[in-house]
Amino acid sequence: MPKSWGSVARRGAHLVKSESPKAKTPPPVPSGPQEPQDEWIRVDGVDIDISETGTTPARHKAALEVPGDVATAIRRSAVTATAYRKERLVEQMGKAAEAYSRNRFEEAARLSGRLADEVPTVEAVRELAGLSAYRCERWRPAGRHLEEYRKITSDAQYIPLEMDCQRGMGRVRSITSLFETLRQESPSPDVLAEARLVMAGSLADRGKIAEAIEVLESNGAGKPRRNPSDRHLRQWYLLGDLYDRSGDVPRAREYFSLVAVADPGAYDVTSRLRDLGPKRSPRTKRKSVSKKRP
């Protein structure tokens, strides 16, 4: 399964959210090019009606669109299907993957979701179905598919997305539970940072701004970096937004400025800084001149 699918989904959809009524701006999308996806070659095949030929069809050409291990897993999972139906399922996976790569997420979610109903134990199908539904903001099916993917693979990389799905459905306890599950898995810094962003966003949704700031700053998210990555920019932006919402304009300006220096085109940071107004210089105290007595 192309790993770039998950990377594209994580980078493009969900990490720094300000969806509550208190938010001042829509959720930003990281600037810059996305990671390249695997190239899928489209090879149109001709459907074969086995009712007419009475023989098992040759391997469907459209199956060449799907990696061999994925195609084999689909065929093996569809134990009660005919040989012809198995090839149609492989073709359906190819079409779903192509739709996802072209940002046709509704189509990808529809095709991969149906496929997951027929071959529920194929991890690549669950992954694609979950990511596609997530990009469509269909929180319930996205969370279900991603949870099944995690159960099949024991791979925790999509727990931040699962948390975000629970956030979309307003399930606070599930967010906290998933966050604790992830922390026990020793995830990569990027995955853990994404989970903290979702956790902080959930707290902010409920007006717990100070707690949201604590989740980020207690783990060093607010420290300046010489060569910041995308996750650092997202954390700085969210901290700037949280401090702005709390009324602490100097700290908001500080974090928005860190983002602007690293990437002036990131999110809407330029307009956020403009809205905060110019930085005020500290007032200097005037020295009082004591009058000498005669």
Q: What is the pTM of this model?
A: 0.74
Residue 181 has pLDDT above 70, yes or no: yes
Phi and psi based region of residue 219 (left: phi greater than 0; alpha: psi -120 to 50; beta: remaining): alpha
Model confidence pLDDT, tens digit, residues 262-279: 999 888 999 999 998 877
Residue 293: its pLDDT value, please?
A: 56
The CA-based angle 260-244-171, given to 5 degrees, is: 105
C-alpha angle 122/124/127, rounded to 5°? 110
Mean pLDDT for the stretch of residues 276-289? 65
Average pLDDT over residues 259-264: 92
The residue extents of the domains of the chain are: 1-26+59-155
List of long-range contacts for 140-145, beta carbons under 8 Å, 24+ apart: 140/165, 140/169, 141/109, 141/113, 143/169, 145/113, 145/116
What is the structure's pLDDT at 3? 41
pLDDT band at 29 (very low <50, low <70, confident <90, very high): very low
pLDDT over 60 at 9, yes or no: no
Contact 276, 254 (CB under 8 A): no
Question: What's residue 225's pLDDT?
Answer: 86
Measured distance CA(56)–CA(72) in Å, rounded: 17
Which band of pLDDT confidence, cut at 50, 70 and 90, is reported for residue 282? Answer: low
CA distance 107 to 162: 21
Dmax (CA) of the chain:
124
Confidence label for 284 from pLDDT (cuts 50, 70 and 90): low
Over residues 24-36, mean pLDDT:
32
Looking at 3.40.120, 1.25.40, 1.10.3470, 3.10.450, the CATH number of the domain 1-26+59-155 comes to 1.25.40
* Comparison of pLDDT for 55 and 245, the residue scoring more: 245
Q: What is the pLDDT of residues 85-127, one digit of tens each?
A: 999 999 999 999 999 999 999 999 999 999 999 999 999 999 9
- What pLDDT band is residue 129 in, cutting at 50, 70 and 90? very high
Average pLDDT in the chain: 79
Map tokens 């020793």 to a residue. 186
Q: Residue 226 burial (CB < 10 Å; 0-12/13-18/19+)?
A: exposed
SS (H, E, C) 214-242: HHHHCCCCCCCCCCCCHHHHHHHHHHHHH
* Confidence at 290, pLDDT banded by 50, 70, 90: low
H or E, element range at 146:
helix 139-153
Q: Is the pLDDT higher at 28 or at 180?
A: 180
pLDDT of residue 186: 85
Pair of tokens at residue 157: 């990389």
